[in-house]
Amino acid sequence: RAGGGGGGGGGGGGGSHSHGSRSYSSDDVDAGKGGAGQVPVHPPFRPDGVLHDELPTLKRICRKVPADVGFLVELKVPPPELLAARSLPYPERNALVDATLARVFCEPTNAGRPISFLSFDADVVLMLRLKQDRYPVYYLNSEVREVLNDKSDPRTITFAGGLAWAVAARVHGMVLTADLVLEAEGAARVAAVKAAGLTLMTYG
């Protein structure tokens, strides 16, 4: 998911990556393969009365949105229980990160564009941090408030675990759901993030 945001040289990943009998490349982000991009295109209206639409690809967004508009690029990874229950075809984390970085770095319009990466997935933010140093990386945290968070990962389901991981992974900051800042312990959480030398943003 891409949206408006701020910015942060380094290189990104690229090429193709094997995942079982399936390989992924930077085009997968744009073609919707592996569940990480565009859905099949349908006419706007069909006889069944259902309205169909398409999701814009990362490539299309990079090329159509003016270069002075910043992006917040969030990489989402389904939790293990959802992957198991739904048998979702989803690329391995390295393949997802490499394909996303390859697309971001190969588009000329992104040369001066403010871009930041973020994810609720602890391993993804570490990969984003290790694979490039041009753009800032932020770790999203809502404790257990997001349905699709990995409830088995202490780095994800607690603020303390998330902050410790953000420091260990050397990310640029944390993005907390507003509830974590507004409730009674909010001031202490803000102070802890500041004391760790990290930027703090909120959502929701």
* pLDDT on residue 29: 53
* pLDDT on residue 181: 96
Low-confidence residues in the chain, pLDDT < 50: 4-24, 28, 31-42
The span from the CA of 100 to the CA of 102, in Å, is 5
* pLDDT on residue 80: 77
Measured from the Cβ of residue 122, the count of other Cβ atoms closer than 10 Å reads: 24
The residues, ordered by sequence, that sit 6+ positions from 171 with a Cβ below 8 Å of its Cβ are 125, 129, 136, 137, 138, 139, 198
Where are the domains positioned within the chain? 1-135, 139-204
